[in-house]
């Protein structure tokens, strides 16, 4: 079932579009890491006069942490999706087999 789904996603370019969307969202959320503290600082500054309690006046970089987690999660999902769609399993070949074949072909060529 997954093989047919994989073939359909690769042949119709839907997988490529989905990968592009996932990676663009990851980049967008990474940018939000830097803009979220500024946004929350502006919002706190606007409402400081209304709220009787004093609020923190500086930047709070922890406001960007949820966006950082989203960005990392999207990058991991995108990487796994990319690996599943476009990269097959790596074949394990021993270097000894290749070296043995090369030496046998060289020996056979010298004998002829």
Please, which pLDDT band fits residue 99 given cuts at 50, 70 and 90? low
Burial environment of residue 15 by CB neighbours within 10 A (0 to 12, 13 to 18, 19 or more): buried
Best mean pLDDT range from 59-63, 96-100, 101-105: 59-63
Q: By the 8 A CB rule, do 74 and 22 touch?
A: yes
Q: List, for residues 16-62, the tens digit of each pLDDT value.
A: 999 999 999 999 999 999 999 888 888 887 777 777 666 666 667 88
């Amino acid at each position: 079932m997954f093989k047919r789904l994989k073939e359909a996603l690769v042949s119709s370019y839907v997988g490529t579009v989905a990968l592009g969307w996932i990676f663009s969202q990851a980049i967008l959320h990474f940018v939000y890491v830097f803009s979220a503290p500024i946004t929350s600082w502006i919002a706190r500054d606007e409402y400081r006069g209304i709220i009787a309690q004093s609020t923190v006046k500086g930047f709070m970089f922890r406001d960007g942490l949820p966006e950082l987690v989203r960005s990392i999660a999207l990058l991991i999902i995108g990487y796994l999706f990319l690996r599943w769609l476009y990269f097959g399993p790596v074949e394990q070949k021993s270097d000894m087999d290749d070296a043995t074949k090369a030496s046998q072909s060289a020996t056979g060529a010298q004998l002829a």
